[in-house]
Amino acid sequence: MDEQATRRAPEGARALGMTELLTSQLPLASLSSMSEILTAPFPRDLQLPGVSEPPASTPSVGGRSFQDVAFADVVVEDEKYMHQGVELTRRTAASIKGISVGGIRHGELRAICKVLAVPGYKNKNKATMAHLIALKKLNEEVYDIMFSPPSKKSRSPNKQVQCPFRLLNILFSDTFAERFSRLGDTSTRQDLDARVSKRTVFWSDVREYFIGTSDEHIGKLQFSHFALDEMDIDPSVVVPHGWKKLASIYADTAKGYKDGLALFTASGNHQPEFYHFCGGQLDVLYLHLHLAHRPSLTGHVQADLPDGAFFDSESKSPAPTPEKPERKTKSSGPSVAEAITEYVRSTTQSDNAVQRLLLMQKRDEREEAKDKRDQMKAEQEMSLLRFQEWTRISDRMRALRRELQHEEDPEIISDLTADIEQLKRKKDAINFI
């Protein structure tokens, strides 16, 4: 009997602990057995009642690792709970990395809170820690939306100052000049039967050449003019426009040329320089210089102009008006008819100048109105974004204040108050009026 008690004594001593050992009725065989019992190592796998489990050194337990956990791995859902007989709803973490929070151990959840920098998680139960993780994730999402730069939709690159000049060099080059001159010809049956129009094929080829060519002749200004010499224009700089954008760039330049040519060839204008009628558009002036070098393309560029506007005042002049025979007058001074003619001529010149000025003013007004519309649209979008974030933060603050009214735990009250203050600072940073 004594030997069996001796064999059971160490195991009983380990289970009961030092205090219970001294007060127990376990039979001891000898002092040597007592020494063996007291010096025996404590088993690590034994859980004593009333003693909590030591926290894990790393958030990896049972083969599950949470060291790289992020808020993207947290799924937040609404949770209903009772507080003082009232059913309330709060946000809580339902699962983390695909594992239900109910299946995550307390030590693991504490380690997750530490990795995610969740405030106030110490000495909290699992439900409270899950709630704090959800609040932290919601706050991070609001912060990212408020302070991250607004996303922009992908769009084609904007036109730069050298783009029209590089495009005109290509259109008037030996490679494309002939095809460019036939672009407005009547389509043949073969063209009509083709799935892709010849215009699309032409501009697609122009686009490939615009982006891919390394021809030095294309990459530099081919004409010298005092207005061009003052500007730093480098056609060798390539912007990857699509073929539709290139066609639009040429259409804008051609329209500006037609408007300037109408003023240049108007009756009563005596300015010999086309530059004075292009409204400061240097690409229009450059097109005029190209046409002077290749006059065979003038008809194609001016196709929509009236017949009377096809001549160039620098090289051609309108057909002279037959003069009526002068009548001799008794007076040697100017006649009334001559005075009226001179008055009409001066008035016409003044009217033409006024018309040119009005055209330029209208163009400037249109551009200014477009800039204002774009600016107003951008401001409205930014204001809407700020209002949405301001509303979201306000709703979140109201929800936290409701929870604060029913909370009794001082630490949770402190955490909720800190979260409310943080949201208030973010709300003030928006400066929404």
Residue 92 lies in a domain: yes
Task: Residue 420: give the domain boundaries.
Answer: 62-148+394-430
Please give the mean pLDDT across all residues of the chain. 74
Q: Specify the range with the lowest mean pLDDT, choosing from 125-134, 170-179, 186-195.
A: 186-195
pLDDT band at 167 (very low <50, low <70, confident <90, very high): very high
d(CA 47, CA 17) in angstroms, rounded, equals 12
pLDDT band at 170 (very low <50, low <70, confident <90, very high): very high
Q: Which of 249, 259, 241, 235 is closest to 173 using CA atoms?
A: 235
pLDDT band at 305 (very low <50, low <70, confident <90, very high): very low
pLDDT of residue 248: 92
Are 20 and 85 members of one domain?
Answer: no
Which strands sit side by side in the sheet containing 86-96, from one edge to the other? Answer: 74-83, 86-96, 99-100
- Residues 379-412 have pLDDT tens digits of 888 888 888 888 888 888 888 888 888 888 888 8
CA distances in angstroms from 68 to 105, 110, 201, 241, 273, listed in the order given: 17, 14, 53, 43, 72
In this structure, what DSSP letter does residue 80 have? Answer: E
Are 25 and 66 members of one domain?
Answer: no
In this structure, what DSSP letter does residue 160 have? Answer: -
pLDDT band at 113 (very low <50, low <70, confident <90, very high): very high
- Residues 321-367 have pLDDT tens digits of 444 444 544 444 445 555 555 655 665 566 666 777 777 888 888 88
- Percent residues over pLDDT 70 in the chain: 64
Are 25 and 99 members of one domain?
Answer: no
Q: Which of 302, 283, 303, 296 is closest to 169 using CA atoms?
A: 283
Number of independent structural domains in the chain:
2
| CA-only gyration radius of the chain, Å | 44
pLDDT of residue 145: 73
Q: Specify the range with the lowest mean pLDDT, choosing from 259-263, 292-296, 413-417.
A: 292-296
Backbone angles phi, psi at 209, to 5 degrees: -70, -35
Bridge partners (DSSP) listed for residue 78: 91
Backbone angles phi, psi at 19, to 5 degrees: -65, -45
Residue 234 lies in a domain: no
Are 97 and 137 members of one domain?
Answer: yes
Residue 404 lies in a domain: yes
Residue 91 lies in a domain: yes
| Helical residues (DSSP H) of 151-271, grouped into ranges | 163-171, 177-181, 189-193, 198-212, 226-229, 243-264
Residue 359 lies in a domain: no
Q: Show Cβ contacts of residue 210 under 8 Å, excluding neighbours closer than 6 positions.
A: 166, 167, 170, 238, 241, 246
Q: How many C-beta atoms lie closer than 10 Å to residue 219's C-beta? A: 17
Residue 94 lies in a domain: yes
Are 70 and 138 members of one domain?
Answer: yes
Q: Specify the range with the lowest mean pLDDT, choosing from 176-190, 208-222, 318-332.
A: 318-332
d(CA 298, CA 313) in angstroms, rounded, equals 13
Query: Taking a C-beta distance cutoff of 8 angstroms, is the pair 109, 130 a contact?
Result: yes
d(CA 264, CA 247) in angstroms, rounded, equals 25
Are 92 and 137 members of one domain?
Answer: yes
Beta strands, E only, 12-155: 60-61, 64-65, 74-83, 86-96, 99-100
- Percent residues over pLDDT 90 in the chain: 12
Are 71 and 106 members of one domain?
Answer: yes
Residue 263 lies in a domain: no
pLDDT of residue 148: 65
d(CA 59, CA 99) in angstroms, rounded, equals 14
Residue 286 lies in a domain: no
Predicted TM-score (pTM) of the model is 0.38
pLDDT of residue 300: 63
CA distances in angstroms from 419 to 119, 272, 403, listed in the order given: 9, 75, 12
Q: How many C-beta atoms lie closer than 10 Å to residue 162's C-beta? A: 20
